[in-house]
Amino acid sequence: MVPLCGFIRRQASNRHSSQWVFPMPNYRRIRKPGGTFFFTVVTYARQPVFQNSEARSGLRRIVKKTQSQHPFYIEAMVLLPEHLHSMWTLPEGDHDYSKRWRIIKGSFTHWIRKWGFDGRIWQNRFWEHTIRDDEDFARHFDYIHYNPAKHALVDSPAKWEFSSFHRYFARGWYTEEWGSIEPENLKNIQCVGE
Interface contacts to Ni ion, rule CB under 5 A: 147, 194
CB 37 within 8 A of CB 97: yes
Whole-number Å distance between alpha carbons of 5 and 185: 6
Smallest distance, Ni ion to C-beta of residue 182, A: 13
Tell me what percent of the chain is helix, strand and coil, each rounded to the nearest 5.
40, 15, 45
Smallest distance, Ni ion to C-beta of residue 27, A: 27
Smallest distance, Ni ion to C-beta of residue 152, A: 11
Secondary structure letter of residue 175 according to DSSP: -
Measured from the CB atom, the residue of 176 and 194 that comes closer to Ni ion is: 194
Q: Which residues touch 189 (CB under 8 Å, ≥6 apart)?
A: 139, 140, 143
Smallest distance, Ni ion to C-beta of residue 42, A: 9
- 179: alpha, beta or left? (left if phi > 0; alpha if psi -120 to 50): left
Measured from the CB atom, the residue of 21 and 49 that comes closer to Ni ion is: 49
**Count of H helices and E strands in the chain?**
4, 4
Smallest distance, Ni ion to C-beta of residue 28, A: 23
Measured from the CB atom, the residue of 151 and 167 that comes closer to Ni ion is: 151
CB 162 within 8 A of CB 182: no
Measured from the CB atom, the residue of 21 and 192 that comes closer to Ni ion is: 192
Measured from the CB atom, the residue of 9 and 187 that comes closer to Ni ion is: 187
